[in-house]
């Protein structure tokens, strides 16, 4: 294909490296902010509604380029890393051959050729063969070796042959020469055209939080549901810092400055025809309705780097979340007996401490592992009235 223009669109990291458009598109402005912050994103270069290259920006100024042929098949992957010359070195270039569309769709290559280049121009070319059809069950990017291989070729070459400029944001012509490796020929001048993507309403907003704790039944498209607030005990804060964390991973909690004292913890149980889950958990510091809600952020987090409906939240890896004082510690060897096993038959569990030491109140995290937003409810004078973990079993308008 000869091309004189490229359509440019932006999105989250490609992940499955297949498809014609970004599964999670973002605006050019958001991608530019992520680039400036050193955060990952992806750029899709297309022509005539066909993907030609997908460029991923990785942390530590590394890049990955996926190349597509005229059939829109992903046939090549190039990893680039910073070189001492100030340019990018194509450190690894991997090509695949497939016998059929079905084989390509399942990621079962017949031949994989990987060229690796060192910083001083030492080149290694390794060819691998999948053997009998169906022998390989791994995805094409996870697979590192085949049942058989030919001898490895090694030679020295001018390292300049494997260098390319480091692009400024938007300077995607830098990657146009790579397209020729899949038979796409750039014209003398290539025009880049940004595909318009609406900024949308921005990061996730705290709507319907109060309704998470309003008792009552209602009918939804998925059947009847009911909300039942239940008391989970008193949380003792001594340091003036509330921590929200998976109790099995308390080294990196989400923290909020709050007054010291003892404060009630409430769970919102959501009952449906499928069972009962903890929809949200709240610790209340002032018995005053919040005037506004804000997302609990760490010092290095920026709402301007979030796309449509995205959020920074507390990570859960044990199916459990907890409120605790930021100085509270846990004994990992006792977590199973004291916390995780009791949570099999209870919605919440307290890990007590003798007064005046802080305790810990843990609870089931919605439907399991994931990341969940933490909201701070502030009063008219800006004080923290409550902190809520929303396990997102309700929609934004408060329904199921």
Q: What are phi and psi of 338, to 5 degrees?
A: -90, -20
Q: Is the pLDDT of residue 400 over 50?
A: no
**Cα angle for residues 26, 56, 126 (degrees, 5° grid):** 155
Supply the pTM of this predicted model: 0.72
Q: How far apart are CA 7 and CA 310, in angstroms?
A: 26
For 165-192, write each residue's pLDDT tens digit: 999 999 999 999 999 999 998 877 889 9
Distance CA 396, CA 399 (A): 7
The pLDDT of 55-82, averaged and rounded, is: 94
**Per-residue pLDDT at 314:** 96
Which residue reads 């952020």 in tokens? 297
pLDDT band at 49 (very low <50, low <70, confident <90, very high): confident
Q: Determine the Cα–Cα distance for residues 224 and 354; give it in Å rounded to an integer.
A: 43
The beta-strand segments (E) located in 214-284 are 216-220, 223-237, 241-246, 249-257, 261-272, 275-284
Tokens of 344: 């099999």
pLDDT for the residue 139: 45
Q: Give tens-digit pLDDT for 229-251.
A: 999 999 999 999 999 999 999 98
* CA dist., res. 243 & res. 109, Å (int): 48
Tell me, what's the pLDDT at 25? 87
Q: Is the pLDDT of residue 141 over 50?
A: no
Q: Across the chain, which distance is largest between two alpha carbons, in Å?
A: 76
Structure tokens at 119: 């910083």
For residues 268 and 296, give the distance between their C-alpha atoms in angstroms, rounded to a whole number: 20
Average of per-residue pLDDT across 116-129: 95
**Mapped to the 3 state alphabet, what secondary structure does 103-159 carry?**
HHHHCCCCEEEEEEECCCCEEEEEEEECCCCCCCCCCCCCCCCCCEECCCEEEECCH
* N residues, the chain: 400
> Which residue did the predictor score with more confidence, 268 or 19?
268
DSSP letters, 288-329, are S--SEEEE---TT--GGG--TT---EEEESSSEEEEEETT--
Rg (CA), the chain: 26
Q: Residues 281, 283, 286, 287: is their CA dihedral positive or negative?
A: positive
pLDDT band at 142 (very low <50, low <70, confident <90, very high): very low
**Distance between CA 197 and CA 25 in Å, rounded?**
7
Question: 254: which residues sit within 8 A by CB, 6+ positions away?
Answer: 243, 244, 245, 296, 298, 313, 314, 374
pLDDT at residue 140, rounded to an integer = 44
Residue of 246, 284, 200 whose CA lies nearest to 29: 200
Q: Which residue has the higher pLDDT, 220 or 99?
A: 99
145-149, 337-341, 391-395: least confidently modelled range: 145-149
In this prediction, residue 137 has a pLDDT band, given cuts at 50, 70 and 90, of: very low
Q: Which residue matches tokens 């390509």?
A: 104
Element (H, E) at 62: strand 62-68
Average pLDDT over residues 294-320: 93
Residue 270 banded pLDDT, cuts 50, 70, 90:
very high
Calpha distance 311→331 (Å, rounded): 30
Work out the pLDDT band at 322, boundaries 50, 70, 90. Answer: very high
Q: pLDDT value at position 199?
A: 67
CB atoms within 10 A of CB 153: 11
- Is the CB of residue 383 less than 8 Å from the CB of residue 352? no
**Is the predicted pLDDT of residue 80 greater than 50, yes or no?**
yes
Distance CA 351, CA 283 (A): 16
Asked if the model's pLDDT at residue 51 lies above 80, the reply is: yes
CA distances from 137 to 70, 132, 146, 297 (A): 26, 12, 11, 42
């Amino acid at each position: 294909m000869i091309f004189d223009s490229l359509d440019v669109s932006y999105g989250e990291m490609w992940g499955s490296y297949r498809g014609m458009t970004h599964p999670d598109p973002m605006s050019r402005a958001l991608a530019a902010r992520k680039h400036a912050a050193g955060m990952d994103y992806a750029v899709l270069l297309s022509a005539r509604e066909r993907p030609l290259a997908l460029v991923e920006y990785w942390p530590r100024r590394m890049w990955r380029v996926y190349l597509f042929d005229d059939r829109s098949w992903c046939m090549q992957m190039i990893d680039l890393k910073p070189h001492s010359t100030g340019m990018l070195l194509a450190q690894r270039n991997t090509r695949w051959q497939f016998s059929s569309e079905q084989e390509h769709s399942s990621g079962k290559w017949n031949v994989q050729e990987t060229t690796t280049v060192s910083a001083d121009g030492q080149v290694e070319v390794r060819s691998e063969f999948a053997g009998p059809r169906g022998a390989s069950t791994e995805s094409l990017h996870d697979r590192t070796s085949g049942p058989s291989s030919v001898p490895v070729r090694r030679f020295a070459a001018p390292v300049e042959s494997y260098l390319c400029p480091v692009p400024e944001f938007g300077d995607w012509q830098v990657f146009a020469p790579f397209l020729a490796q899949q038979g796409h020929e750039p014209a003398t001048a290539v025009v880049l055209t940004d595909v318009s993507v609406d900024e949308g309403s921005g990061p996730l907003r705290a709507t319907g939080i109060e309704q998470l704790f309003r008792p009552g039944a209602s009918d939804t498209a998925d059947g009847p549901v009911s909300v039942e607030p239940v008391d989970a005990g008193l949380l003792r804060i001594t340091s003036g810092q509330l921590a929200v964390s998976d109790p099995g991973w308390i080294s990196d909690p989400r923290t909020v400055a709050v007054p010291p004292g003892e404060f009630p913890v409430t769970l919102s149980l959501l009952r449906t025809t499928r069972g009962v889950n903890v929809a949200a958990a709240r610790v209340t510091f002032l018995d005053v309705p919040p005037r506004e809600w804000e997302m609990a952020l760490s010092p290095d987090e920026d709402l301007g780097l979030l796309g449509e409906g995205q959020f920074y939240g507390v990570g859960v890896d044990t199916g459990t979340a907890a409120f605790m004082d930021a100085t509270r510690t846990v004994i990992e060897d006792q977590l199973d007996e004291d916390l995780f096993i009791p949570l099999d038959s209870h919605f919440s569990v307290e890990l007590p401490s003798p007064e005046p030491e802080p305790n810990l109140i843990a609870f089931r995290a919605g439907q399991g592992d994931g990341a969940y937003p933490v909201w701070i409810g502030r009063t008219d004078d800006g004080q923290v009235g409550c902190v809520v973990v929303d396990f997102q079993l309700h929609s934004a308008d408060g329904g199921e």
